[in-house]
Structures are given as C-alpha cells and as structure tokens.
Amino acid sequence: MRVLPVRMALLAGAMLAMTPAAAQPVSAAEASPAGTLPADPAPAPPAPADLAARPGLAQPAPAPPATRPFTLPPGMEALPDGAWRLRFPEGKDAAPRAADAALAELGRRLAAGPEGRVVLFAQASGPAADVSTARRLSLARGLAVKEALVAGGLPATRIDIRPMGRTEEAADAVDVQPPGTRAAPR
C-alpha cells in the first residue's frame, strides 16, 4: 500500500521537471544581471505634418469680382447664396434661347474662377403623380445647362448634375452653384 504515495511523488516530480522555464519563479538578480535595468521603450513617432500651413498647399483665394457687369436675361436671377437660377417654361427641357449668351458668359467666369466643382441642382414642377417623369425632365434640364456652360469654356469634368425631380418648392428651374457654396434647392 505504500507504493501508491511513492508513485504519486515520482509523478509530481516528473511533472515539475516538464514545466517550461518561463513558468518558474525568477529572482531579481537573475532577471537583470549586474543590477542593470531593462532598456527604455522606443520613442514616440513624430507628429503628422501640418500640410495646411505650407504656403504651396493653401486653399485658393476666391476669384476677384468681375470687372464688367454681368447682366442676366429674363428668367435668370442671382440667388443670395452666390448661386444663379435659370427658370424654364413648364414641361420644357431646353434652356430658353435668351439665356444662351448669359450661360456662356457664366461658363467663362466659372472657368476663370477658383478650381472646384460646379453643381447644377435641376428641378421640375411636375407631374406630381409621376416621380420618374419629373426626375427625367430635371435631368434633361441639367444636361442642357451643362452643355451651355461647356460651350462657354467650363470643363465638363468640373460640372456635377443633381436631378432633384419634383421638390417641395415645385420650381421649373436649374440652380448653378459655384465652387465653395453648398446650398441645395429650397
């Protein structure tokens, strides 16, 4: 009967011999020889560069006001937020002929102004029951205004069209938002 405790003692000793060295307790003298401390951690990475402070990457200054007056034809108006609105006859998708010269001049001015996207918010007043038709009509109006601005010299790649369809305002119009303004149709 004494064989069982001896075997258990031998088994426990064998198990202790098999445990990894990392699990064994280590004295302070063994951990850092000759009383030296571990090395300091690596220094923190440098702060990111402030690119806005560099003069070459600053935001472009807004374009100076035009020297000659810009007369708007009937059906076109300047909005308080710096945009322009061109009104369309109800149900028509072609820009009014009277606005062609003004849109070409506007295209020249926008091309000479600060870089950025020109956004066209196109709207249609109806039909109220057919959302798809109103959206397609507003898209056709936006494309007509884009074509006139491109004819004036504004690159087509700088023009975004937002065909809004029928809005709460129910306007037959296209709003031309110059770069730097972020107003949507009311």
Q: Is 122 inside any structural domain?
A: yes
Number of domains in the chain: 1
Q: What are the E-state strand segments in 116-181?
A: 118-123, 159-165, 173-177
Q: How confident is the model at residue 56 (pLDDT cuts 50, 70, 90)?
A: low
Residue 106 lies in a domain: yes
pLDDT per residue as tens digits for the range 81-136:
889 999 999 988 888 888 888 999 999 999 998 889 999 999 999 887 888 999 99
Domain extent, residue 132, equals 76-177
CATH number of the domain to which 80 belongs: 3.30.1330.60
Backbone φ and ψ of 111, nearest 5°: -65, -35
